Structures are given as C-alpha cells and as structure tokens.
Structure 1
C-alpha cells in the first residue's frame, strides 16, 4: 500500500492538472469573446467628413457576407491616393468618416466595419478578417477615382495585425500601424502564461510577416499603454528589414490615441509625404 503522503500528493497533482485542463478548455472555447469585442452601435450617428463626399457602402465578401462602412472621396477633382483603414478590437469605424478631413486630407478613404461590428454581418475571426481585407483592397484598387499604385493601409491595435498581412501581399504605398504588437499569441501568453499556444486560433502573428514588409512604415505608440506593452511593439519593430518611422504621441493612451489631433496630424503628414514620393517616382519612370 502506498504511503498516505504519496497518495495525497498524487491527488493534489491530479486536481491541479484537472484545474489546468478546465481553464485551458475555457480559454480555447471562449477565445473569440476574449479576442474580439464587436461594437454594434455607431460611434458617430451621422458621420460626415468636412473635406470629403461621404457615402455609405455595403460590399460582399468572397463568401457573400455583407460588410458595411463608408467610402470617402475628396471634394476636389481626382484621381487621388487612397487609404484602407482597419480598426481595433472594440472599434466601430464611423468616427473615421468624421475625422477624415484632418487625418486623410485629399485622400480617398475606405473604412469598413469587421464582421459582426456596426452594420456588418457575420462573426469575426482572423482568417475571415484577412480575406475581407484583401477583398477591400482589391475593390478600392479598381475604383476609378484612385491614383494607380497609391493605396496605403492603416491599422490600429488589433487592426495592425490585419494591415501587416495585407501590406506583404498587396502593393501598398505606405503602412501606418497604431499601437501595434508582435503577435496576439504573445500578448495572450503574457496574460495567460499557463495556456499552451496551440489552443489559440486567432494569432495575428505580425512578427512572422513583418520581415517581408517593404513599404515605408510608420509606427505610432501611446505614451501609456496597458494593452500593448512597449516591449511587444519593440519586438515587431526589430523584425522589420527597413527601419520605420517610430514615434510616441505625448498624452496618449491605448484608448484615446487615434482621436487625438496630434496623432491625426502625424498620420496626415506621413502619408502626404509618402504619396508624394511615390508620385515623383512614377513621374520619373515615365520620362
């Protein structure tokens, strides 16, 4: 017969293992709710841009899911450079239409809510979001008011993982990443260190794709960020083959950073310069 002490230790070990297995199962099953926080209510009820014609649009994904958002075209005659915007975990993107006059001056803007966000149908997931992002980029590239070869992608927080994947598979002119991370898996492991990585389906592994990123890139950090620690942004930056423009916005945090005038002005300045450089190269190549 085994000693009582041994039996107690074995029983305790089994209880710990069972608790770990239960916790891991809960995380695996509920990870969609942990990662995504779809916002249905519009942040701005009647979004309008002072510098753009604002048009609600509904586009169909490759599997037929209806995606809703806004197409903003400058009031001045075109064609114009363009931007596709990808929002954060709990972000409904109507505010982009409101603030586009400052953030994206003289640029066409496509801001579409993820599946399950705003008026978009469906359920969010990494694979679906990236597939939809490819569709959005390709749709905008065919738009008659777009300057050929001049489409940038802008991604905030969760959306930075989408923007990076599009930037390495499509000919983007520039990339803006607001509070980006190395990978969602790394952030999840930081929060739940005992959970094995294989249970996470939506990894948004930006460090895997970043070495292939060749477009000019602007990294925008929050002065205070309790969601994406600076070390996780550092790890992403370290994998980029071309040093990015990298700035911290004073007085910002993870939640307020995209709404600040300083952030919007820096994005406008960066994209204006990069679009100008692309235009100059295209002009030179045709001479």
Structure 2
C-alpha cells in the first residue's frame, strides 16, 4: 500500500506552485501534455489469480507504449478493494460478479467504480484428476477416502473459499473432509504433484485458468448449483481514476477478451515460459496479436 504521506507532499507542492502554472492544485503525477491526463497509474493485482496477472501485464504494456508510467502492486483480495476505495490503487482487472466478490462490493461498492465486464464466460469449479473415479460433487462425500479426505483450496480470503465454506461443503455434506487453504501457488503445487504421481486429488479452481491446459483434470458436476452460475470478470477503479486519466478509463471501459484469447496469453506467460519477467513475453504476444491489441485503444 502506498504511503499516505505522498498526499501531503503533493498538496504542499501544489500550494507552492499556485500562481506559477495553470495546473489545478489537486493534480499530481505525470500528465499528458495539454490533455491533463494523469500518466502515473497503479494497477492492483490479486495474488495467484492468473487471469488478473495476465490482463494486468497486458494493460501495463499497452499503457506504457502510450506514454504512461505503470506500477503493478500484488495483494490479497481484501487489501485490493480497500486500496481502490482509498485511491491507493487506480484499477484492478479481476473482480468477479455477481457471486465471487459480492461481499466486497457490498462493503466497498460506494467508494469504487465499475468500468465494465471484459469476460462473461467464467465460473468457479471444483476439479479432480481426469481419471478420478467420480464425476460429481454429489459423489465426493462417499468417496472422500479415495482423495485422502482432503480438499485443497486457495487463499483464505478468496471468494472461491467463501463459496466452498458457505455453500459447497454444507450442500454436499463434505464437513468430514479437511479443507486446506493457504495460497493458489500451494494448490497448484499439490495438483501437479498428485497428477504427476497418478494420484487422486480434489482442488478448488475456476475457469478460465491455465491449469486446464497444463494438468489432466476435469470439473466435478455441481447438480445443486452450489458454486453459482457463469460470472463476469470486471474492471473496477478508484473514484478519481476516470477524472484523472479519462483516456485510460475509456479504453478500459471498452476492454473485451474472450476465454480463447485469454488462454493464449496465459499459455504464453505461464506454460510456455517458466520465469517471472513477463514483459518480453507479453510484448511478443502483443506482436503476434497486434490487430486485437490495437482494437483495445481505438
């Protein structure tokens, strides 16, 4: 989270320059010529959520090519919403609605702004190895011992975790299974280890996710609808973002990316590449998909 003393420094600087420039006293950061566009942008990225990491790096690269200075800040879900509401972050690309992040919208909705949905093909899932002997959540309780009586989850504060605890586990009588929560990275490590060893495993997941192209897994059917239906993935911003950076906000309002295109980007970043310096990878992906990327800033 950014140091709030920056606000005080910016205010003092603005007062000192009053009368020496035509800029408004409340403006700060790099601005785009005569447009007044604030060119310093901070994108908040949910820890472990690949679609958010991928789209954040995409927009970081796009905006930097347009002259912006862009910082990515990784955080858990709750601090992201808090940071958006306080103006510490400018926007995030990974808010799931209507169910996954519903509680955060109820808490922070009046202090943040929805810019738009960029994907409407997403859903929460519970997945197992593709050769597992069951196909439905309704079968899991009776076969819990085949999975070591464990469900491997992700971060404790995630909306998916809340859906499991509040809906899936009581609906399907899974209270006798241990529900492990720590991080998305830990869940993926467990998934890789189990599938590599040919062992049964059950994990919480979501689509779109690179795991479906990386590991031999299948979704368990959810006949009771405990995980909810299809969701949208949305861009949310601070209240001041559209006023301070109207051009960037306009581009994000028009942002659309279907699941096939997202998988292409995630594959390039997380499957075909093993490092964490995603800049060159995203630049190459943009070059390979230039027509689509150009359409995002028309």
Q: TM-score, normalised by structure 1?
A: 0.34
Q: Which one has more relative contact order, counting CA pairs under 8 Å at least 6 apart? A: 2
